[in-house]
Amino acid sequence: MTNVVIGAGSGMGRAVAEVLAPRGRLIVADVNGDSVKAVADELGGDVEALTFDLTDPDTTTALLAAAGDGIDALVVTAALSSSMANGRRIFEVNLIGYANLLAAVEPLLHEGSVGVIFSSESGYAAPATPELVEVLDDPLAPDFFDRMSKLGFDPDHPSFDTE
What is the model's pLDDT at position 159?
A: 58
Instruction: Report pLDDT digits (tens) over 12-34.
Output: 999 999 999 999 999 999 999 99
Q: Could you state, in order of their start, the residue ranges of all structural domains in the chain?
A: 2-123, 126-163
Render pLDDT for 27-73 as a digit per residue (tens, 0 to 9).
Answer: 999 999 999 999 999 999 999 999 999 999 999 999 999 999 899 99
Whether the Cβ atoms of residue 11 and residue 75 lie closer than 8 Å to each other: no
CB-count exposure of residue 74 (10 Å: 0-12, 13-18, 19+): buried
Give this prediction's pTM: 0.87
CATH code that applies to domain 2-123: 3.40.50.720
- pLDDT tens digit sequence for 76-111: 998 888 788 888 898 899 889 999 999 999 999 999
Considering only the C-alpha atoms of the chain, give the largest distance between any 2 of them, rounded to a whole number of Å: 53
CB neighbours of residue 26 within 10 Å: 25
Contact 162, 127 (CB under 8 A): yes
